[in-house]
Structure 1
Amino acid sequence: METLSGFQENLTAIAQRSAAIKSACSNEESTKLYLVLPVIGALGYDYTDPFVVQPEYAADFRNEMPERVDYVVMADGNPVIAIECKKVGTDLSANRGQLRTYFSALQTVHLGIMTDGIRFEFFVDCENPNVMDQEPFLTLDMEAATRSPIPADVIEALSLISRSNFHPDVIAEAAEERLVAKRLRAVLMQEVREPSDELCRLVLQRVGMRNVRRTSIQTRYSSLIRSAFEDALVLPVLDKLRSLQARKTPEIAQEVETAQRIVTTDRELAVYRYVCRRLAYLAADEYQFAAVERVQHKDYVGKFVVYYERERKGRLFDFIEGSNGYDKFIFPEPFGEIITNSMSDIDQALKTTFTQRIRELASAKASEAKQLQTA
């Protein structure tokens, strides 16, 4: 197989093309032909060779009119991967039962893929042999791959599924680790949002506070622990942002500062740090959490601008520091001006605007990629 970086570049190129042509894939057959088969090929499986990939493979105990898998990947004459395809835009979670039956019918299959050509969900049978797990251990989102690089851990997991590296035992072990990690993240995120009494007691004991009343935990310490979690979660993000800022050439930074005569105040930096911390906490998913790294700021005379990726198209708000303790935040409509002495008052406007900017810029990038392909 090619190097991991080459593998990632190949998948990213396929993702760009898939995003550009998916609107033309109006049925299941076109989805399979134009969106699914290229990904199968990228994994190293020659879909033009019937000894490697077979379409419409019988997967049922019945001899008359058996159920058929859209594709199976073969190894030593036996099916080892079952691939069930649906039309672009189909709710995959509502159709997992169909793929689950193939695990029972095909005893040599221990890996299944459910896809609509844009989203690829990968399942194994970790909990019970030949019984497909309830949740995928790996998801490849081709649309997200047009907005940001495919995560390294996803690339590594996909490489294990490739033809050159395929080994069921290795995949099963990696899948189990990913599933446990996924569940742990879900539990921890829930604890961060609403710390349980049990966790609060444990944390308080670690800092030397024992026999704390339940009412005290709920009225006082729970919010303190939640804030501490917020800070701890986003420190890696802030560290990365600081390292990126440090890479700027000192001479250039000095020239810009001298030319513009602008000094970024402690209050403005505090606003920026608050925005990064709150967006990481309010993120709806891992993609939004990762997007916080691309939130930036720029100082002007009289105002401080916070934006996502692009200063104009990604503008989140303008900040104007007040002299009387009340600051002004100017958001796009429908929020407009928010004058406050408490930054928590901007949370709703911040979350909504951030989500909207991510969606708008992703759409703009997809449109630009399509124009380049048709040029």
Structure 2
Amino acid sequence: MDLATKLAELQKRTLEHREVLLTEEAAKNALVMPFLQALGYDVFNPGEVVPEFTADVGTKKGEKVDYAICTDGKVDVLIECKPASSDLNIKHAGQLFRYFTATDARLALLTNGVTYQFYSDVEKANIMDEKPFFSFSMDAIKPTDVKTLEKFQKSAFDIDKIVHEAGNLKVQSLLRKELEKEFAEPSEGFVDLMARRVHDGRLTASVRENISKMLVSTISSLVRDLVNERLSSALNAASPGPVEEAPSESEMDADGIVTTQEELSGFHIVQAIASRLLDPKRVTIRDAKSYCAVLLDDNNRKTIVRMHFNGLTAKYLGTFKGKEEERHLLSDLTAIYSFSSQIEDRLRELDDSLAG
């Protein structure tokens, strides 16, 4: 089983159980240890994955980090875990900072089992950086995340290569965040840059305002087209004929309910749309035999949309207004983005704090 498949299974487990994993131990056992196993580490070998790793640091005696990954007795990675319900921030990394300096470790991982933040010493040798060089969330694993995580697999692990690439990954992460900001709400500088390329006249306030509005819609359209193009290419390459593979046992639960990759992809699109208004962690997935529901706060009385993908040649998205469901034919998964306004209106309907 490849890493992408293992992560997809772990993602499903995370979505199903994260709300009840209120303690650090629960998150470690249910989420973090399976993640380390997915990377190929033997979590039951105390010489390879050392639980409750202890090293005296200055006046701090007997402090522990949750795990240390070791090779031939040498510490490679330090891991600190928090409850799944806890939001991660740099205040949680105090022990990692101290241990990073006192051990041979070049990598540190801070996680709550849902979000994973990887640190190194990019800025100053032997001093852990305050910002991670790579982070990802089990809520929304991207293909690029899988490619990066492949470097952390036991079979491919090369500490020197990872540390060497950490600087580039950190810059790429920062660039991505800045681009996301620009795409969502273009800054004056970005508007001016693009305006001067497409407008020959004087850049008046009205011209800038108009181009700013068009930039947001143009970028959204471009992203949809690119995603659609990639999806079409992948589907054409993977599906030369109309016959679909039967679902594996891992994709089917005891009731025979199958959560397909298409449903997971559709869920992530809805989650991305919802993130404009609220914490995407509040958006959950719940599958049934005839449809797959996307819910707010995991409450079946707060259905955001339903995906009618099972057993149908065509695929439909069900949007809601009150108790009435309206079904829409989807040409492809990215067409869900065209229902962003209906989804946002539904969220405002379900959460009074968003109204107004």
Decide: shared fold, TM above 0.5.
yes
Picking from 127, 137, 159, the partner of 2:123 is 127
User: Are 1:105 and 2:101 an aligned pair?
Assistant: yes
* SS of equivalent residue, structure 1 residue 92: coil
Write out per-residue CA displacement over residues 224-271 of structure 1, whole angstroms, 9 at most, x where no aligned residue. 33433333232213435777999999x9xxxxxxxxxxxxxxxxxxxx
Residue of structure 1 equivalent to 2:174: 183
User: Are 1:42 and 2:38 an aligned pair?
Assistant: yes
Please tell me whether the aligned partners of residues 103 and 130 of structure 1 are also in contact (alpha carbons under 8 angstroms).
no
Picking from 137, 149, 155, the partner of 2:146 is 155
Once the two structures are TM-superposed, the CA of residue 81 in structure 1 deviates from its matched residue by 0.4
TM-score, normalization by structure 2 = 0.63
Residue of structure 2 equivalent to 1:165: 156
Counterpart mapping for 1:261-300 below 5 A: 284=275
Residue of structure 2 equivalent to 1:203: 194
**Higher share in helix:** 1
Q: Tell me which of the two structures has the higher relative contact order, counting C-alpha pairs closer than 8 angstroms and 6 or more residues apart.
A: 1
User: Are 1:350 and 2:343 an aligned pair?
Assistant: yes
Q: 1:111 to 1:131 in 2, by over 3 A?
A: same
Residue of structure 2 equivalent to 1:58: 54
Distance 1:86 1:193 in 2: 31
Residue of structure 1 equivalent to 2:6: 10
Question: Residue type matched to 2:2 in 1?
Answer: G
Please tell me whether the aligned partners of residues 125 and 132 of structure 1 are also in contact (alpha carbons under 8 angstroms).
yes
Q: How many residues align?
A: 281
Residue of structure 1 equivalent to 2:74: 78
Question: Residue type matched to 2:322 in 1?
Answer: E
Residue of structure 1 equivalent to 2:214: 224
Distance 1:119 1:336 in 2: 34
Distance 2:204 2:25 in 1: 59
Distance 1:95 1:356 in 2: 36
Write out per-residue CA displacement over residues 250-304 of structure 1, whole angstroms, 9 at most, x where no aligned residue. x9xxxxxxxxxxxxxxxxxxxxxxxxxx98995637x99xxxxxxxxxxxxxxxx
Q: 1:227 to 1:281 in 2, by over 3 A?
A: farther
Write out per-residue CA displacement over residues 122-148 of structure 1, whole angstroms, 9 at most, x where no aligned residue. 222222223333333333434x37xxx
Q: 1:352 to 1:122 in 2, by over 3 A?
A: farther
The percentage of aligned residue pairs carrying the same residue is 26
Distance 1:19 1:121 in 2: 19
Residue of structure 2 equivalent to 1:291: none
Residue of structure 2 equivalent to 1:68: 64
Q: 1:99 to 1:284 in 2, by over 3 A?
A: farther
Please tell me whether the aligned partners of residues 39 and 153 of structure 2 are also in contact (alpha carbons under 8 angstroms).
yes
Larger radius of gyration: 1
* SS of equivalent residue, structure 1 residue 10: helix
Once the two structures are TM-superposed, the CA of residue 154 in structure 1 deviates from its matched residue by 1.7
Question: Residue type matched to 2:168 in 1?
Answer: E
Distance 1:72 1:284 in 2: 34
Once the two structures are TM-superposed, the CA of residue 197 in structure 1 deviates from its matched residue by 2.9
Question: Residue type matched to 1:200 in 2?
Answer: V
Q: Which runs of 5+ in 1 are unaligned?
A: 252-277, 289-306, 318-330, 338-345, 358-375
Q: 1:47 to 1:196 in 2, by over 3 A?
A: closer
Q: 1:24 to 1:58 in 2, by over 3 A?
A: same
Picking from 216, 225, 239, the partner of 1:235 is 225
Once the two structures are TM-superposed, the CA of residue 356 in structure 1 deviates from its matched residue by 10
Q: Which runs of 5+ in 2 are unaligned?
A: 243-268, 282-304, 327-338, 351-356
